[in-house]
Structure 1
């Protein structure tokens, strides 16, 4: 059974890296999460990595506009899930930064 104690992790949005080492590389957010929550966050990053490649190949079909592109829609939805998860698990600095981006619906910010 997975360990349900929360541990500190550092998340990089650019690389999708999740590390317990604060000095391992540059990071954007500090979060407290269980093993299960980290597995879920990792799955979201993996989904976006896969969707990003699909969008890359689709980009070579110039007649499909961005707002009609399923891959971009899927990427955007998953990115929102990533930010929601980080907001829920993040420290006050992470929450303040995500609020400042204005990318989450207001009801998500109040369900802390």
Structure 2
């Protein structure tokens, strides 16, 4: 059975790193999450890493425009899921930063 207690994690958007050590590397957001929530967040980052490589190879096919590119659409959708999850699990500073970006369609005040 998974541990349902929430623990503090630090998330780097640039690297997709999720750490329990505040000083391990630069981080963007502090969140409180269960093991299951961290597993889901890691899966989102892994999906975007894979999609990012597909998009990298696609760039060698110059006749496909960005807005017709499935890889970019998938990357954008997963990135939105990552921000939604960080918004839901994040501390007030994380929530405020994500609100200031204006990227979530229906941000809810908690």
Q: TM-score, normalised by structure 1?
A: 0.96
User: What SS does the corresponding residue of 2:14 show, helix, strand or coil?
Assistant: coil
- For the pair 1:81 / 2:81, whether they are aligned, the reply is yes
- For the pair 1:103 / 2:103, whether they are aligned, the reply is yes
The unaligned stretches of length 5 or more in structure 2 are: none
Query: How do residues 1-112 of structure 1 correspond to structure 2 at under 5 angstroms?
Result: 1-106=1-106, 109-110=107-108, 112=110
Q: TM-score, normalised by structure 2?
A: 0.98
Deviation of 1:45 after TM superposition, in Å, equals 0.1
Deviation of 1:105 after TM superposition, in Å, equals 1.2
User: What SS does the corresponding residue of 1:110 show, helix, strand or coil?
Assistant: coil
Per-residue Cα deviation, 1:55-89 (whole angstroms, up to 9, x for no partner): 00011000000000000000000000000000000
Deviation of 1:52 after TM superposition, in Å, equals 0.2
Count residues in correspondence: 110
The unaligned stretches of length 5 or more in structure 1 are: none
